[in-house]
Amino acid sequence: MADTNDAYLAASNRYELIDYARVGRSGLKLPRISLGLWNNFGDDRPLETQRAILRRAFDRGVTHFDLANNYGPPAGSAEENFGRILNHDFGRYRDELIISTKAGYYMWPGPYGEWGSRKYVLSSLDASLRRMGVDYVDVFYHHRPDPDTPLDETMGALATAVTSGKALYAGISNYDAQQTREAHRVLGEMGIPLVIHQPRYNMFDRRMEDGLLDALAELELGSIVFSPLAQGLLTGRYLDGIPADSRAAEGRWISGDNIDEAYLGRARALNAIAEARGQSLAQMALLWVLRHPQVTSALIGASSVRQLDNSLDALNAAPLTADEIAAIEPHAVHGTGLKQ
């Protein structure tokens, strides 16, 4: 990062600009929209662009930055870049920030480089702390269920992360309803509360409604949903073709094959409903996931300050009415845009 010698001072009115919601029955609160560093914060993007997005987010009251060990590319670079920006700009604000990371996906070769063993989970956490240059993270997640490791071993690693002071709260990601109940039970028996779940949820991926929302309510857990815009499918990005700089053109997460006539018909219908509300499709899609009381926060990505602002402006509109939700329903079809 270039040393610009411009000391960053956060906007003094930042906590007046966004609402915060309690995570389940815990003492933790999150902004209704949080910033994820899954894409756009690796070594393939200019560090000064990343820095501008993070500054703008905090100036608008976004206190929560979400990472994982494998975010990049390459894996680990998002944490390294975030650590550099944190040290340069946000050191004085560390106690105001919620920083999260995860372990579960592939990070290094050999039998201890992914999944849910105690060896991997705790080694990964230590590596994440080093990359970011912090003593602790606020939330540490197990990133995906491990079919071969006993759940009590994986949850025991999360418990150790909390009791050691390297994490303040324990979370899980990508667990289904029954797995969530079991994780909650096992952690509870260890004296550590399971506080938060991070599932994928959007108008075109509605698996969260298949029991998980009920489980969260039953267990009094909070959630922060990722991919609320379905990798850009729930924006106006593809309504008139595939831009050269889009994710579909890049082909890493979605491709042009996802942009079929069924998708376009549904997306254009949803866009018309959003326009009638005076919103962009992306803004309406964010309010749609936030309509559930179990959804504490929606996790967005951003490749520019302008894109960040557009997403955060979703919160300036009134909540969706029952009639609007009913109008959305025929077009919010699970599986839209997915290719097997």
What confidence tens digit (pLDDT) does each residue in 85-96 have?
A: 999 999 999 999
Q: What integer pLDDT is reported at residue 249 of this predicted model?
A: 44
Question: Which two three-digit tokens encode residue 203?
Answer: 């108008």
CA 83 to chain centre: 18
Pure H helices in the chain: 47-59, 77-85, 118-132, 151-163, 177-189, 212-219, 247-250, 261-276, 281-290, 305-312, 322-328
Q: How far apart are CA 106 and CA 273, in angstroms?
A: 40
pLDDT digits (tens, 9 = 90+) for 101-134: 999 999 999 999 999 999 999 999 999 999 999 9
Return the higher-pLDDT residue of 253 and 47.
47
Q: What integer pLDDT is reported at residue 204 of this predicted model?
A: 97
**DSSP secondary structure code for residue 235 in this structure:** S
In this prediction, residues 54-60 reach a mean pLDDT of: 98
Q: How confident is the model at residue 3 (pLDDT cuts 50, 70, 90)?
A: very low
Q: How far apart are CA 99 and CA 235, in angstroms?
A: 27
In this prediction, residues 181-205 reach a mean pLDDT of: 98
Q: Is the pLDDT of residue 5 over 80?
A: no
Q: How confident is the model at residue 259 (pLDDT cuts 50, 70, 90)?
A: confident
CA distances from 172 to 52, 182, 278 (A): 30, 11, 36
Q: How confident is the model at residue 1 (pLDDT cuts 50, 70, 90)?
A: very low
Q: What integer pLDDT is reported at residue 340 of this predicted model?
A: 42
Q: How confident is the model at residue 239 (pLDDT cuts 50, 70, 90)?
A: confident
Closest CA to 103 of 90, 93, 118, 92: 118
Question: Which two three-digit tokens encode residue 306?
Answer: 């302008």
Q: What percent of the chain has pLDDT over 70?
A: 93
Q: How far apart are CA 251 and CA 66, in angstroms?
A: 24
Q: How confident is the model at residue 244 (pLDDT cuts 50, 70, 90)?
A: low
Question: Which two three-digit tokens encode residue 14?
Answer: 């930042």
Q: Is the pLDDT of residue 329 over 90?
A: yes
Lowest mean per-residue pLDDT among 4-13, 93-102, 222-231: 4-13
pLDDT digits (tens, 9 = 90+) for 19-56: 999 999 999 999 999 999 999 999 999 999 999 999 99
Q: What integer pLDDT is reported at residue 247 of this predicted model?
A: 54
Lowest mean per-residue pLDDT among 59-63, 246-250, 268-272, 326-330: 246-250
Q: Is the pLDDT of residue 139 over 60?
A: yes
For 168-192, letters b (16+ CB in 10 Å) and e give bbbbbbbbebebbbebbebbeebeb
Q: What integer pLDDT is reported at residue 243 of this predicted model?
A: 56
CA atoms within 13 A on the CB side of 111: 4
Contacting residues for 237 by C-beta, under 8 A, at least 6 apart? 243, 246, 248
Q: What integer pLDDT is reported at residue 181 of this predicted model?
A: 98
Q: What integer pLDDT is reported at residue 2 of this predicted model?
A: 42
In this prediction, residues 261-269 reach a mean pLDDT of: 93
Calculate the average pLDDT of the chain. Answer: 94
